[in-house]
Amino acid sequence: MLYRKLGNTGFEASLLGMGCMRLPYIDDTDLTKGVHLEKAFELIRYAIDHGVNYFDTAQGYHAGNSEAVLGEALDQPGLRDKVWITTKHPFWQPCPPDQVRRNLESTLKKLRTDRIDTLFIHGIGPGNWPAILRDDVLGLFEKLKAEGIIRTIGFSYHGNFEHYKEVVAHYPWEVCLLMHNLLDIDREVTAEGLAIAAERGIGVTIMEPLRGGGLSYAPRPVAAVYDSAPTKRTPTEWAFRYLANFPSVSSITSGMSNMEQLKENLAIFSQPDLTPNHLSAAESALLVKAREAYESIVTNPCTGCNYCLPCPQNVGISNIFKLYNDGHRFEFFDQVRRSYMFARRGGSGAEKCNDCGACVPQCPINIDIPKELKVAHATLDGWNE
């Protein structure tokens, strides 16, 4: 496993971090049954045994259960002290200081620990930043840090580059979690934003490196680009190499749902050449061509974060967008149309959307969800059996 300095925190973070938003489910067709604990524990402990020491979770992941799963997995002698735990406190709803403290006390119990290594303000953006300043959230975090409950203060960000620069300059943040990947180079903070944070001594960690898993697949136009490379690599490896090339990046957080994904990622991040600026000019040019090939295929940018849920009309928003995207990525629509038929029969089809718009402000990447649901429905509908 390769390691990099986490900004000025003094911690050497594994370049591969484990995100705990996509832990394995008991039943992938019925997520209400919850996380498959045995498989989740196996994944987390295997990751630690093979050098992963950076774990990211949040109060809201897995319907509020992610922190508890991680805490139980780490509840073995010596494991907690081997890892850096980050979690997030949401501020998209009013949250007075006493409630923040109660929430954090609940988090500590779930994680079975006496401190949080990094507490992020979750999902800062232009919409909630004024309230965060008004309520002096950072002052509250500083009090918690002085008490030893949290070690470092950070933020995760969803918004535009211009506003991001204001947020970064406002406070001496210690760690940040930013969305960046091979495709979303102009969305949110951009590559320039990564460098700005690193120049200020902030540990830069990356979310959605595979864009919800989509970059693990290469449709024919993209596969043709990758196949032209002298060195053969999987689409997953190319996507990770794009990010590892940035000197500003401290750790790349990937959500892994099964042992196959974890082992593949461990093998990639154990290659000694995965250093800053390791890509040759030819490889960088190849990734530009791969990006252009991806962008030539019409898909929805949904990453499957599920922040848009629950829908008041019970529309399965992220599942519908996943089916739509999978049909395009695999260039095969029979299976996804069949799956959509069952989704409609179960009452979660896009035709139930009434344009209420409740989902739109919850989307961290500003998808016009009602509009895109209509597009997806027109493509997926029609299978009968």
Domains and CATH numbers, the chain: 3-295 (3.20.20.100), 317-380 (no CATH)
Q: Compute how many other C-beta atoms are within 10 angstroms of the C-beta atom of residue 276.
A: 12
Q: Which two tokens stand for residue 277?
A: 């600026």
pLDDT tens digits, 4-43: 999 999 999 999 999 998 899 888 767 678 889 999 999 9
- The whole-number pLDDT of residue 169 equals 96
Task: Report d(CA 379, CA 375) in Å as an integer.
Answer: 7
Q: Which two tokens stand for residue 6?
A: 């986490």
Q: Which two tokens stand for residue 93?
A: 């709803």
- Between vectors from CA 321 to CA 316 and to CA 327, what angle results, nearest 5°? 125
Query: Is 286 within 8 Å of 312 (Cβ atoms)?
Result: no
Torsion angle defined by CA atoms of residues 176, 359, 305 and 224, in that order, rounded to the nearest 10 degrees: -110
- Between vectors from CA 30 to CA 339 and to CA 211, what angle results, nearest 5°? 70
Give, for all 385 residues of the chain, the pLDDT tens digit.
999 999 999 999 999 999 998 899 888 767 678 889 999 999 999 999 999 999 999 988 888 899 999 999 999 999 999 999 999 988 766 677 788 888 899 999 999 999 999 999 988 988 889 988 988 899 999 999 999 999 999 999 988 899 999 999 999 999 999 999 998 898 789 999 999 999 999 999 999 998 878 788 898 899 999 999 999 999 999 999 999 999 999 999 999 999 999 999 999 999 999 999 999 999 999 999 999 998 888 678 898 888 899 999 999 999 999 899 888 877 778 888 988 998 999 999 999 999 999 999 999 888 999 999 999 999 999 988 6
Phi and psi at 109, nearest 5°, equal -65, -45
- The whole-number pLDDT of residue 183 equals 86
Residue 195 DSSP label: H
DSSP assignment string, 100-168: HHHHHHHHHHHHT-S-EEEEEEEEE-TTTHHHHHHTTHHHHHHHHHHTTSEEEEEEEE-S-HHHHHHHH
Strand partners, 54: 84
State whether residue 287 is helix, strand or coil: helix
Q: What percent of the chain has pLDDT over 70?
A: 98
pLDDT tens digits, 211-262: 878 788 898 899 999 999 999 999 999 999 999 999 999 999 999 999 999 9
